[in-house]
A = this chain, B = another copy of it.
Amino acid sequence: MTEHAAAPGTTDTEHNAPPHTYSLVEAARALSKREVTASGLLESCLRRIDEREPAVGAWEHLDREQAAARARALDAGPATGPLYGIPVGVKDIIDTCDQPTRYGSEMYRGHRPTADAWIVRRLRQAGAVIVGKTVTTEFAYFSPGKTANPRRPEHTPGGSSSGSAAAVADAMVPAALGTQTAASVIRPAAYCGVVGFTATPGTFPLAGIKGLSHTLDTLGLLAREVPDVALLRAALLRKAPVPVTDVSAPTLFVWRDTGLGPTDPAMDRALDEAAHAAARSGARLLGIRSGLPSLPDVAEVHATVMTYEAARSLAVERERPELLSPQLLELLSAGDRVSREQYLTALEDASAVRRQLWERLYGVDAVLLPAAPGPAPHGLSATGTPVFSRPWQVMGLPALTVPGLATSDGLPLGVQLVGRPDDDERLLAAGAWLERALRRT
């Protein structure tokens, strides 16, 4: 049996819960009403970090003094900006001009970028308080950093956005930035029991983010509830937030036999439970469509594009192989073995299969499937398989991890919603709807 995991962000602020447990939406509301100050919220988060960081290891770098100064400055002025006073963690693959940025590699120890990434500028302009840099795997690929899963420290938090997922799951910050090339947001969000959202590639400029694959790389947002992610996305795009609380029941295609590899029985049950909860709340569920693409084949297409582009993106770093992990070196060598013709064919295949999929899924708001094969695997030497994300990533589709389910012994299980091309707002609306449906069960 699956059980429902505790959702730390849903604590009612009126019951005097400590501010670090507020969801982003709750925190924004409390800050705007001056029920809490930016400094007070930050202090609560920093106390939580002090308490938990030795066990979790979510942070590559913390800048308490700078964050505190920023919070004080915000408190001294008017409450403006959609993220006014919100403490945020930034994955350490993203450049910050005032904090070191190591990209998860010894090669960049002490590296200090000369400029903020575009997305960091936007965060600051929206009023956020950047608490620090969260742990990433080496160059956002395979080799894990120090982070443990906050729900079960001997299990992986997933990667590559390991620290962002763990920090948000452990209520150290209400939100964090991640990036995804394969499954680097969707999987850690599922393993840690938080919401992970990957935007349609191209939505957010990636300038100032250390790239692995320019076709596949995309920005990810992690928070504890879907409306948090919707608010964060809208703030960063300077748009009005998409309505997520009064949306009609979505049409979901439940993709059970993906062929992407074996799933844990607990995940099979979690997917059933999510589907049943959705049906009970009025969703239209579809389970059979003919002519769908072979997802394992599409996952191969993803691997072709990623390896080819990674070998070029990391060409400079590759000249110091003694500072790279064997897994990364193998990825780069694999990239050498992909011919340009194979690469171009893979790009064409990805375009064709994206069109095919959505012709077949006409009228579907989102695809529902596992976010990962099961709960977070035991051990910290690897971060789990990316295979449940590869197909969507190479098709350039937005995706969302919806948490709220768990194994019988309490490890989070995330289901994944995949959205229509370039319709991230429809996906977030469906995700918020599903999140509420799961809470009703």
Contacts and interface: CB of A to CB of B under 8 A. Distances in A.
A312 B206 contact: yes
A347 interface: yes
A307 interface: no
Interface residues of A, number: 35
B202 A343 contact: yes
A49 B380 CA distance: 59
A322 interface: no
A347 B348 CA distance: 9
Nearest to A203: B340
A337 interface: no
Interface in A338-376: 339-341, 343-344, 347-348, 351, 354
B207 A315 contact: yes
A17 to B, nearest CB: 38
Interface string A283-312: 000000000000000000000000010011
28 contacts: A115-B316, A116-B316, A117-B316, A121-B316, A121-B319, A200-B340, A202-B308, A202-B340, A205-B311, A205-B313, A205-B316, A206-B312, A207-B312, A207-B313, A207-B314, A207-B315, A207-B316, A208-B316, A340-B421, A340-B422, A341-B421, A344-B351, A344-B396, A344-B421, A347-B347, A347-B351, A348-B348, A348-B351
Interface of A: 111, 114-118, 121, 200, 202-203, 205-208, 214, 308, 311-316, 319, 339-341, 343-344, 347-348, 351, 354, 396, 421-422
Given A115-B316, A207-B316, 9 more contacts: A118-B315, A118-B316, A200-B340, A202-B308, A205-B311, A205-B315, A207-B314, A344-B396, A348-B348
